[in-house]
A = this chain, B = another copy of it.
Amino acid sequence: MIEYGDLVYIWNPKKGDSYMVKVTRGASLGTHFAQIYHDELVKHDFGEGVWTEKGDLYYLLHPSLGDYTRHIRRQTQIIFPKDAGYIIQHLNLFSGCTCVECGTGSGSLCCTIAHFVGENGKVCTYDRRPEFSELARKNAERWGVSDRIEFNVRELSEGFKERDADAVYIDIPKPWEHIDKAYEALKAGCHLGVLVPTVNQITLTLEALEKFNFVDIRVCEIMLRDYKTDPRRIRPQDTMIGHTGYLIFAVKTLPLPKRPAGSGNDTETEQPEE
């Protein structure tokens, strides 16, 4: 049975619209089709369809992390699952690791990282705006991962407090001005992720990464295309998101030892051709 405190994803087949509720004694949710009383929800099981008095139908489902992300309370642009899923695989994340993130924003990526680093993992997130830090904390509490997150309200110019972090991710307006801070906080051999919305920012970020000892630099973008689901008329949706951001990944290395005298020819340190 659904219990107080459970997160329930309510899905209405008529319009395909959906709601996210944390079941709370005495609370209720206004939807376009009915008023839903939380005290009624605990009389049902996950997976049940419920008829309203007016004959509408809604289902009580477990939200996936992707569902939660899409329904997160936001005051900023969020990181969508298409990007978040790629990011978490290209940072050095594992159960028990420490990941440093800036800025916190509404906490969408923060929750996703915290979700996947496990009970013993830690996300140290930074934002200079206390109201975002607070919103993100609430979103993380709702998803049940706030105890793995340390919220810092701080200007990035002061640098991160962490050293030897397993991963660093930055999503700030001028990442190129703070690559030194990321370098400082990150463990050698580990991965930095950066998200930037414009191509101009890619250029400046790559130039900054080149100045520090970052290698294996990659830039990509991910396009998600949703399809209509009538089996007799399958086709992509008429409109799609055209752009969210460009993802940049790089790995921190230590200062290069001097090349042994007399070794090799003159061209071996040149950049890879593409």
Q: Give A residues with C-beta under 8 Å from B.
A: 11-16, 18, 45-49, 51-57, 59-62, 64-67, 69, 81-82, 84-95, 112, 115-116, 118-119, 187-191, 197-200, 202-204, 206-207, 210, 215-243, 246, 249, 251-254, 256-257, 259-260, 263-265, 268-274
Contacts and interface: CB of A to CB of B under 8 A. Distances in A.
Given A48-B253, A55-B268, A60-B189, 5 more contacts: A64-B92, A81-B86, A85-B85, A89-B112, A223-B223
Contacts of A48: 188-189, 253-254, 257
Contact of A207 (B46, B64, B231, B272): B231
A243 B84 CA distance: 20
B234 A242 contact: no
A274 B228 contact: yes
A22 B80 CA distance: 34
Given A47-B187, A189-B61, A217 B202 contact: no
Copies in the assembly, this chain: 4
A223 B226 contact: no
B18 A216 contact: yes
B220 A227 contact: yes
A216 B11 contact: yes
Nearest to A202: B234
A242 to B, nearest CB: 3
Contact of A236 (B14, B90, B242): B242
Given A188-B45, A265-B55, A272 B222 contact: no
Given A223-B225, A236-B242, A47 B272 contact: no
Contacts of A91: 64
Contact of A235 (B59, B243, B264): B243
A63 to B, nearest CB: 8
A48 B253 CA distance: 6
A48 B188 CA distance: 8
B188 A269 contact: no
Given A52-B264, A89-B84, A273 B61 contact: no
